[in-house]
Amino acid sequence: MHHTLIRPVIRYGYVPFMLLGVNGAAIALAASGASKLWLVGLLPAAIGCSFAAERALPYEAEWNSPAGDGGRDIAHAGVNELLLLLSVGIIPLLAATVTIADLWPHSWPFALQVLAAIVIADLGITLTHYASHKIGVLWRLHAVHHSIKRFYGFNGLMKHPLHQTLEMSAGVAPLILIGLPLDVASALAVTVAVQLLLQHSNADYRIGALKYVLALNEGHRFHHLKWAGIGDVNFGLFTLAWDHLLGTFSHDPTRRFTSDQLGMAAKPNYPTGYLAQLAEPFRASGACHITDAPTDALNTARG
């Protein structure tokens, strides 16, 4: 009975809990001026919820088991979360030196300020992500993220630290130029981490028609299809609004994803070790190789 109850709760309640509960707690803490340590403490709590949901209601059971990538993914997550937290720490210094004009809407309700920051950051991050699939030097760094063979929450943090820095800089720089307050930046950092967990989650949750608007796992799996060109879809971090405008939105409700469809067809033997992945973008073998996808793969991916 307990098992029968928990599955529908996760299926329909997990996303609202993370988006409204965890993000809401971050917004409340930041608005109250609470110690940043409370915000940092939300991250392991969110990761724990992510793992629990994936085990109770997995999309693909085998993706819950490490395939020689567990330690590497923990290393990536640790380094990239640290970078995210450090970036928040230096925002006051940056704001004092590069803010062009304080146009920030300080009079708005705090939650609305965070939402505005999310919308602006989403555009910068999405465009950088899009460019990373088009520009060779950026793809070298981004390819680390696309080497994954299983799709679970931690994958959202499995990025080359230089690429993580570029994406976040593109998202936050416009905000700093117009006077982003530190407390809003702190809440934003938590929402980014939560979004990455949700976007790559192995939990088989449902969000109904919102799957056409919010950039969550159902749509993001299409982005990780291994064939060049086929995975150049659904670039958004928070929303799919920019993908609709760019013409890069893709969805096929009949597709079922497996590990065989993930990774990079052009680079099936991409290095799997953490240090090797940090070095690969700077090696000759780290260059982008474009291969045409099989016709049947193209047809099924595009729906």
Q: What is the mean pLDDT of the chain?
A: 91
Least confident of 77-86, 155-164, 237-246, 291-300: 291-300
- Tell me: pLDDT of 139 over 80: yes
Q: Quick: pLDDT tens for 37-80.
A: 899 999 999 999 999 999 999 999 999 999 899 999 999 999 99
DSSP per position, the chain: -HHHHHHHHHHHHHHHIIIIIIHHHHHHHHHHT--HHHHHHHHHHHHHHHHHHHHHSBSSGGGGS-SS-HHHHHHHHHHHHHHHHHHHHTHHHHHHHH-S-----TTS-HHHHHHHHHHHHHHHHHHHHHHHTTSHHHHHHHHHHHT-SS--GGGGG-S-HHHHHHHHHHHHHHHHHTT--HHHHHHHHHHHHHHHHHHT--B----GGGGGTB--HHHHHHHTBSSTTTT-----SSBSHHHHHHT-----TT----GGGBS-TT-TT---SHHHHHHGGGSGGGS----PPPHHHHHHHH-
Q: Answer whether residue 2 shows pLDDT above 90.
A: no
What's the average model confidence in pLDDT over 251-272? 94
For the entire predicted model, the pTM comes to: 0.91
pLDDT, position 301: 42
pLDDT at residue 299, rounded to an integer: 42
Q: Give the model's confidence band at 289: pLDDT under 50 very low, under 70 low, under 90 confident, else very high.
A: low
pLDDT for the residue numbered 1:
43
Q: What is the pLDDT of residue 180?
A: 94
Q: Pick from 27, 221, 210: which is nearest to 114 by CA?
A: 27
pLDDT tens-place string over residues 170-214:
999 999 999 999 999 999 999 999 999 999 999 999 999 999 999
The whole-number average pLDDT for the span 111-133 is: 97
Domain-by-domain residue ranges, the chain? Answer: 1-286
